[in-house]
């Protein structure tokens, strides 16, 4: 276990190093950060002076070396726009994104398991057919379109839910939470639905097909033959084994969901990391872009590690029998 | 420290909300929030909008594009080099300090060091303090735009910005991308005080109790400014009643807003000109005046305004919009395909040729669609266009390289004056003087250069207008560039928020004077 963790930490460091190198080397193609910092009529000489001052004219390796030296001390540079350490800015937005991901995850968990199981048990019912149809539609519609349709329906037409932002928030230590106020929860609903719209159909289909497979297995037939109760067979014996692969996929998908927050947060003006990132790209705020990529890389490594650990705990034999991890 | 401040701010905000039943709050959504609280850090529309809320200029533009007194109550020209301003005597800064001529002098000195403003203030030699409430603005040469520039002098509280902050830096330090005192603290004379600011998320303003302008009808006590980047979301926020006032309004949603009986839409013909420049250095064909004229004749810019801009613009044949000194009423758009073909034939290019074109896709309204339309219009006179569009962040470096034969550029005159267009877009490019900095066409006409330089020293308005109009006419005759249109401006607000009285063609809504029912 300890050895496994140490190995993972080593891998994480390598991943982050590669990300930093990659993102550093594309920065020249992102555009000129000066353009977003100065007015239109500033002279070229003045621009050059500013570039010199910011160290943008130094050779690539010199810039990268300077970045690395600071990075090992936890300093990823100052954001041009926020004028503060990029890491600090990202950490401030982290709670907003995490609460959005949490909201979406809850929706996915609460809906996908019952629907998936129902569809597996009653493959021919009309509800199953409708769900399977809807899930195809759900997977195919882009997140931003879903989001805009939700806003038009629930905010403008019905006027039930707010259209943008996080609403009222409360500070719990350094964590800015919107979960503790009614206003904050209302603001969370639409973005969470929009964010879950891609993953929910995926999980319904995954659970359904896994469950159907499990129901065909010998030990389930044996259970039927033994005359066990239906509920006991479905929800205890079958569901348990269904959920194992779901955990793996789920862990990986949480990382992917963080990527999807970029779109959701932009449409809803949700003040999280994803929106921050897109804005940073538009403003060519290079230090912020690099810091975001490194942080997200880290989140991926951490979630995968946690999933592997949980996986080992839940069923140590699974790794041997199935090579899904 | 920061945390306690933030908690205190949240508590205060909560208190405000509970007591604020009678207070008038304006919930405002722009597409971006101000990058800094330091009015000298960057010259951009958003920063000037902020300056008009927190600070006051010496004079400001009104609807008739003339000047209204603000902190300067009157002014007179003493001689061709000097304009004297008399300052109001009853003005206090947010900090409680009195406003005097020394603050104006201090602000002027700081403007002269700002990378964004020093170019504009180049013609000014000094600001002389005559007494506590009188100043003279002195220019090196006779200069006609003294009042234009005085709209950019937003006096800052010199006492407030003097000393060192807790990091040991001088409080008046002016630096981009740095955590300076002035970028997070402000004390001006304006109608609003920044009470809380969460960059990129929201800015809260509250009305300054001691505001000098008691005649202002403005009754807004609090403003909550939220940046909403996405156009559909901004519109949705207005339509669902989550905000009271939005700008800009995307052209695609104009009809929806116009037809909604809960909101008002205000549009106005704007002053930002959109053009294409034809690079004569890259393409010898463009050196031929007839080819340039053929291209201008082939571009149906009225059609573009109608079809692509959905009427949200004014097709143009020149740079200067109506109301500017250089505007020539007789110059009209000149789409005429037959004539264009004829001109190409005369120039010996009946078979046409191939060119490259570049345009941004997120800088101007519908910029990429306009570029596509223009390239297909040019195909009709056998000019084959290889078009590339890209985000503005990548476009500007390409523009600086002059990377294509035809490039798009939009321009808003920082001085609200005609000569600024020509100075940057059409004068002979000169690295030394900086003239023609955005002239990617390398169009060069010494005659025009002479006229523009002369106009900059001409303080007689009539003579100056004649010069500037002559320049427009020459540019038109020469087909120096391809004029498209002036972008319209649009604002929308919930009924009862009387924005119609406070918006203007400069796009600096004077929120201090806003009345809410």
The predicted-structure confidence for A254-294, as pLDDT tens digits, reads as follows: 778 887 888 899 889 898 999 999 888 888 888 899 899 88
Question: What is the least distance, in Å, from the CA of A258 to any CA of chain B?
Answer: 20
> Percentage of chain B surpassing pLDDT 90?
74
Q: What is the pLDDT of residue A59?
A: 85
pLDDT of residue B17: 45
Q: Is B18 a residue whose pLDDT tops 70? A: no
Taking residues B378-388, report their average pLDDT.
95
Residues B264 and B500: beta-carbon distance below 8 Å? yes
pLDDT at residue A68 tops 90: no
Report if residue A134 sits inside a domain. Answer: yes
Asked if B393 lies within 8 A of A44 by C-beta distance, the reply is: no
DSSP string, B363-411: SSTTHHHHHHHHHHHHHTTTEEEEEEEE-HHHHHHHHHHT-SSEEEEEE
- Asked whether B240 and B256 are in contact (CB, 8 A), the reply is no
Task: Give me Rg for the CA atoms of chain B.
Answer: 24
A33 in any annotated domain = no
Is A208 among the domain residues? yes
A152: chain B residues, CB-CB within 8 Å? 236
pLDDT tens digits for B75-87?
999 998 999 999 9
- Contact check, Cβ <8 Å, A39/B43: yes
Is residue A267 in some structural domain?
yes
Q: Look at residue A122 in the predicted model and tell me its pLDDT.
A: 86
Residues from chain B contacting residue A37 (CB–CB below 8 Å): 42, 176-177
- Is residue A50 predicted with pLDDT exceeding 60? yes
pLDDT(B195) > 90: yes
Which residue of chain B comes nearest to A163, CA vs CA?
Answer: B237
Q: Is B179 on the interface with A (CB under 8 A)?
A: yes
Q: What is the pLDDT of residues B470-495, one digit of tens each?
A: 999 999 999 999 999 999 999 999 99
Contacts of B202 in chain A (CB under 8 A): 165
What is the spatial distance between Cα B76 and Cα B126, in angstroms, rounded to a whole number?
17
pLDDT tier for residue B20 given thresholds of 50, 70 and 90: very low
Q: How many domains does chain A have?
A: 1
**pLDDT over 80 at B288, yes or no:** yes
B403 interface with A at CB cutoff 8 Å: no
Q: How far is A228 from chain B (nearest CA, A)?
A: 54
Q: What is the mean pLDDT of chain B?
A: 90
| pLDDT higher than threshold 80 for residue A323 | no
Distance, CA of B153 to CA of B95 (rounded, Å)? 19
A40 has pLDDT over 90: no
Cβ–Cβ gap A41/B120 under 8 Å: yes
The vertex-A139 CA angle with A137 and A144, nearest 5°, equals 95
CA distance A305 to chain B (A): 33
pLDDT at A159 exceeding the cut of 90: no
B393 touches A: beta carbon within 8 Å? yes
Residues paired with B360 in a beta bridge: B390
B145 lies within 8 A of chain A by CB: no
How far apart are the C-alpha atoms of A318 and A324, rounded to whole Å?
A: 9
* Mean pLDDT to the nearest integer, A176-188: 86
Q: What is the pLDDT of residue A57?
A: 82
- Residue B360 dihedral angles phi and psi, to the nearest 5°: -75, 165
Average pLDDT value for residue range B363-390: 94
> SS3 for B195?
strand
Rg (CA), chain A: 24
Size of interface A-B (CB pairs under 8 A): 151
Residue B137 contacts by C-beta under 8 Å, 6 or more apart in sequence? B82, B83, B85, B124, B127, B146, B150
Q: What's the rounded Cα separation, in Å, for the pair B331 and A228?
A: 91
Residue B229 is nearest to which of A155, A169, A279, comparing CB atoms?
Answer: A279
B112 burial (CB, 10 Å; 0-12 / 13-18 / 19+) is middle
Identify any residues that bridge with A172 across adjacent strands, giving them in sequence order. Answer: A175
Residue B344 has φ and ψ, to the nearest 5°, of -65, -40
| pLDDT attached to residue B431 | 82
Q: Name the residue with higher pLDDT: A299 or B411.
A: B411
Interface residue of A164, A183, A287 to substitute, partner B, most B CBs within 10 Å: A164
Nearest CA in chain A to B118: A42
- Give yes or no for a contact between B385 and B358, defined as CB atoms under 8 angstroms apart: no
Of B10, B179, B392, the CB nearest to A171: B10
pLDDT of residue B6: 52
- Chain B's closest residue to A172, CA to CA, is B7
Instruction: Report the residue from A79, A81, A163 with minimal CB separation from B233.
Output: A163
pLDDT at B153: 96
Q: How many other C-beta atoms can be found within 10 angstroms of the C-beta atom of residue B119?
A: 18
The Cβ-side half-sphere exposure at B422, using a 13 Å CA radius, reads: 34
Among A36, A155, A269, select the one facing B240 at the smallest CB separation. Answer: A155
Across the interface, do B240 and A35 touch by the CB < 8 Å criterion?
no
A322 within a domain of the structure (yes/no): no
Kindly identify which residue of chain A lies nearest to residue B391, measuring between CA atoms.
Answer: A282
Distance (Å) from the alpha carbon of A167 to chain B's nearest alpha carbon: 11
Residue B230 contacts residue A147 (beta carbons within 8 Å): no
Least CA distance to A89: which residue of chain B? B199
Give B200's contacts in chain A (Cβ within 8 Å).
81-82, 271, 276, 279
Tokens at B16, concatenated: 């405000």
The verdict on residue A216 lying in a domain is: yes
Is the residue at A26 inside a domain? Answer: no
Structural domain includes residue A285: yes
B240–A171 CB contact, under 8 Å: no
The pLDDT tens digits of the residues spanning B92-119 come to 999 999 999 999 999 999 999 988 898 8
Q: Provide, as residue numbers in chain A, all residues whose Cβ is less than 8 Å from the Cβ of B35.
A: 81
Q: How confident is the model at residue B7 (pLDDT cuts 50, 70, 90)?
A: low
* B22 confidence band (pLDDT: 50, 70, 90): low
Q: Do B233 and A32 touch (CB under 8 A)?
A: no
Least confident of A22-36, B181-195, B247-261, B375-389: A22-36
Q: What is the pLDDT of residue B515?
A: 93
In chain A, the percentage of residues whose pLDDT exceeds 70 is: 96
Nearest to B179 among A43, A83, A155 (CB): A83
Query: What DSSP character marks residue A164?
Result: S
What is the DSSP pairing of strand B134-139 with strand B82-87? antiparallel
pLDDT grade for A315, boundaries at 50, 70 and 90: low
Q: What is the CATH number of the domain that holds A102?
A: 1.10.3720.10
Domain that holds residue A135: 86-314
Residue A121: the pLDDT is: 85
In whole angstroms, give the CA distance from residue A290 to residue A287: 5
Distance CA B88, CA A135 (A): 68
Q: What's the average model confidence in pLDDT over A63-91?
A: 87
Interface of B with A in 408-427 (CB under 8 A): 411-412, 414, 420, 424
- All residues of chain B having their beta carbon less than 8 Å from the beta carbon of residue A29 are 394
Per-residue confidence (pLDDT) for residue B228, from 0 to 100: 92
Task: For residue A322, name the pLDDT band (cuts at 50, 70, 90).
Answer: very low
Spatial distance between the Cα atoms of B513 and B214, rounded to a whole number of angstroms:
10
Q: What is the pLDDT of residues B423-466, one digit of tens each?
A: 999 999 988 888 898 999 999 999 999 999 999 989 888 999 99
State residue B167's pLDDT score: 85
Q: Note whether B232 contacts A267, CB cutoff 8 Å.
A: yes
> Strand (E) positions, B41-148?
59-61, 67-69, 72-79, 82-87, 124-131, 134-139
CB B233 within 8 A of CB A269: yes
Residues forming a β-bridge with B87: B72
Chain A residues with CB inside 8 Å of B183's CB? 83
User: Is B35's CB within 8 Å of A81's CB?
Assistant: yes
CA atoms of B177 and A81, how far apart (whole Å): 6
Q: In this complex, do B397 and A284 lie within 8 Å of one another by their Cβ atoms?
A: no
Residues 6+ apart with CB under 8 A from A149: none
Overall average pLDDT of the A26-55 stretch: 79
- Contact map slice: B 184-243 vs A, CB within 8 A: 198-202, 226-230, 232-233, 236-237, 239-242
Mutate to test the interface with A, among B36, B117, B230 (most CBs of A within 10 A): B230
pLDDT at position B470 is 95
- CB < 8 Å to A45, chain B: 434
Task: Establish whether the linkage from the previous residue to B248 is cis, with ω within 30° of 0.
Answer: yes
Strand, helix or coil for residue B196: strand
- Looking at the predicted structure, is the pLDDT value of residue A321 above 50? no
pTM (two decimals): 0.84
Put simply, the answer to whether B199 touches A148 (Cβ < 8 Å) is no
- The confidence score (pLDDT) of residue A320 equals 36
Can you give the pLDDT at residue B19? Answer: 44
Residue B329 has pLDDT above 90, yes or no: yes
- Residues of chain B contacting A268 with CB distance shorter than 8 Å: 233
pLDDT tens digits, one per residue of A92-128: 899 999 899 999 989 998 998 889 888 888 888 898 8
Domains and CATH numbers, chain B: 22-52+163-266+492-513 (3.40.190.10), 59-150 (3.90.76.10), 269-488 (3.10.105.10)
Report pLDDT for B16.
45
Q: What is the percent of chain B with per-residue pLDDT over 70, rounded to a whole number?
A: 96
Q: Which of B108, B70, B60 is nearest to B212 (CA)?
A: B70
Q: What is the pLDDT of residue A152?
A: 87
Least confident stretch, A236-240, A276-280, B305-309, B387-391: A236-240
Chain A residues within 8 A of B233 when measuring between CB atoms: 148, 151, 163-164, 267-269
């Amino acid at each position: 276990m300890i050895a496994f963790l140490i190995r993972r930490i080593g891998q994480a460091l390598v991943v982050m190093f590669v990300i930093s190198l990659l993102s550093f080397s594309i920065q020249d193609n992102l555009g000129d950060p000066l353009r977003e910092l100065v007015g239109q009529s500033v002279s070229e000489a003045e621009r050059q002076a500013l570039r010199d001052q910011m160290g943008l004219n130094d050779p690539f390796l010199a810039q990268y070396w300077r970045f690395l030296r600071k990075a090992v001390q936890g300093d990823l540079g100052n954001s041009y726009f926020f004028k503060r350490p990029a890491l600090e800015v990202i950490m401030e937005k982290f709670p907003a994104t995490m609460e959005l991901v949490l909201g979406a995850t809850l929706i996915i968990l609460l809906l996908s398991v019952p629907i998936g199981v129902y569809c597996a048990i009653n493959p021919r019912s009309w509800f199953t057919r409708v769900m399977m149809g809807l899930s195809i539609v759900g997977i195919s519609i882009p997140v931003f379109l879903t989001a805009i349709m939700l806003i038009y329906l629930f905010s403008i037409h019905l006027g039930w839910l707010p259209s943008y932002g996080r609403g009222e928030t409360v500070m719990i230590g350094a964590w800015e939470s919107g979960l503790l106020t009614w206003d904050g929860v209302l603001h969370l609903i639409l973005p969470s639905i929009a964010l879950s719209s891609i993953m929910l159909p995926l999980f319904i289909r995954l659970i359904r097909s896994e469950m159907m497979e499990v129901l065909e297995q010998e030990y389930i037939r044996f259970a039927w033959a033994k005359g066990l109760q239906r509920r006991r067979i479905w929800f205890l014996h079958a569901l348990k084994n269904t959920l194992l692969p779901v955990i793996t996929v789920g862990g990986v998908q949480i990382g992917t969901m963080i990527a999807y927050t970029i779109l959701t947060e932009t449409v809803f003006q949700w003040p999280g990391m994803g929106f921050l990132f897109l804005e940073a790209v538009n403003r060519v705020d290079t230090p912020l872009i690099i810091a975001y990529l490194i942080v997200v890389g880290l989140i991926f490594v951490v979630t995968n590690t946690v999933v592997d650990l949980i996986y080992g705990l839940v069923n140590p034999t699974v790794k041997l029998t199935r090579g899904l991890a | 420290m920061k945390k306690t401040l933030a908690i205190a701010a949240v508590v205060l905000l909560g208190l405000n909300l509970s007591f604020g039943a009678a207070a008038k709050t304006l919930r405002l959504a722009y597409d971006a929030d101000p990058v800094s609280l330091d009015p000298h850090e960057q010259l951009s529309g958003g920063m000037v909008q902020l300056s008009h809320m927190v600070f006051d200029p010496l004079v400001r533009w009104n609807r008739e594009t003339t000047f209204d007194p603000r902190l300067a109550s009157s002014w007179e020209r003493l001689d061709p080099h000097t304009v004297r301003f008399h300052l109001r005597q009853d003005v206090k800064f947010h900090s409680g300090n009195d406003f005097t001529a020394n603050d104006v002098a201090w602000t002027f000195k700081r403007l002269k060091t700002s990378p964004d403003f020093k170019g504009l203030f180049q013609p000014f030699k000094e600001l002389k303090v005559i007494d506590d409430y009188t100043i003279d603005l002195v220019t090196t040469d006779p200069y006609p735009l003294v009042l234009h520039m005085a709209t950019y002098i937003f006096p800052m509280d010199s006492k407030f910005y003097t000393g060192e902050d807790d990091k040991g830096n001088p409080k008046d330090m002016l630096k981009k991308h740095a955590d300076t005192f002035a970028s997070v603290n402000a004390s001006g004379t304006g109608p609003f005080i920044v009470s809380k600011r969460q960059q990129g998320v929201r800015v809260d303003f509250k009305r300054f109790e001691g505001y000098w302008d008691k005649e202002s009808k403005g009754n807004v006590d609090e403003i909550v400014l939220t940046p909403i980047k996405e156009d559909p979301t901004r519109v949705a926020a207005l339509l669902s009643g989550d905000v009271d006032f939005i700008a800009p309004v995307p052209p695609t949603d104009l009809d929806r807003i116009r037809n909604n009986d809960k909101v008002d839409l205000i549009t106005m013909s704007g002053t930002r000109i959109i053009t294409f420049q034809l690079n004569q250095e890259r393409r010898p064909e463009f050196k031929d005046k007839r080819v340039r004229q053929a291209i201008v004749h082939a571009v149906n810019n009225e059609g573009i305004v109608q079809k692509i801009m959905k009427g949200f613009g004014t097709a143009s044949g020149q740079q200067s919009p109506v109301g500017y000194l250089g505007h020539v009423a007789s110059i009209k758009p000149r789409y005429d395909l037959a004539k264009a073909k004829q001109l190409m034939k005369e120039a010996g290019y009946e078979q046409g040729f191939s060119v490259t074109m570049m345009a941004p896709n997120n800088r101007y309204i519908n910029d990429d669609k306009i570029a596509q339309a223009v390239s297909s219009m040019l195909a009709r006179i056998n000019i084959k266009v290889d078009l590339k569009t890209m985000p503005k962040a990548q476009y500007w470096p390409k523009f600086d390289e002059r990377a294509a034969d035809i490039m798009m550029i939009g321009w808003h005159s920082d001085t609200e004056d005609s000569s600024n267009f020509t100075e940057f877009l059409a004068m002979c490019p000169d690295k030394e003087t900086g003239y023609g900095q955005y002239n990617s066409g390398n169009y060069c006409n010494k005659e025009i250069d002479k006229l523009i330089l002369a106009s900059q020293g001409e303080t007689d308005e009539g003579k100056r207008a004649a010069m500037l109009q002559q320049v427009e006419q020459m540019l038109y005759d020469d087909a120096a560039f391809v004029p498209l249109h002036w972008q319209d401006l649009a604002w929308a607000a919930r009924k009862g928020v009387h924005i119609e009285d406070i918006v203007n063609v400069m796009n600096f809504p004077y929120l201090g004077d806003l009345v809410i029912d």
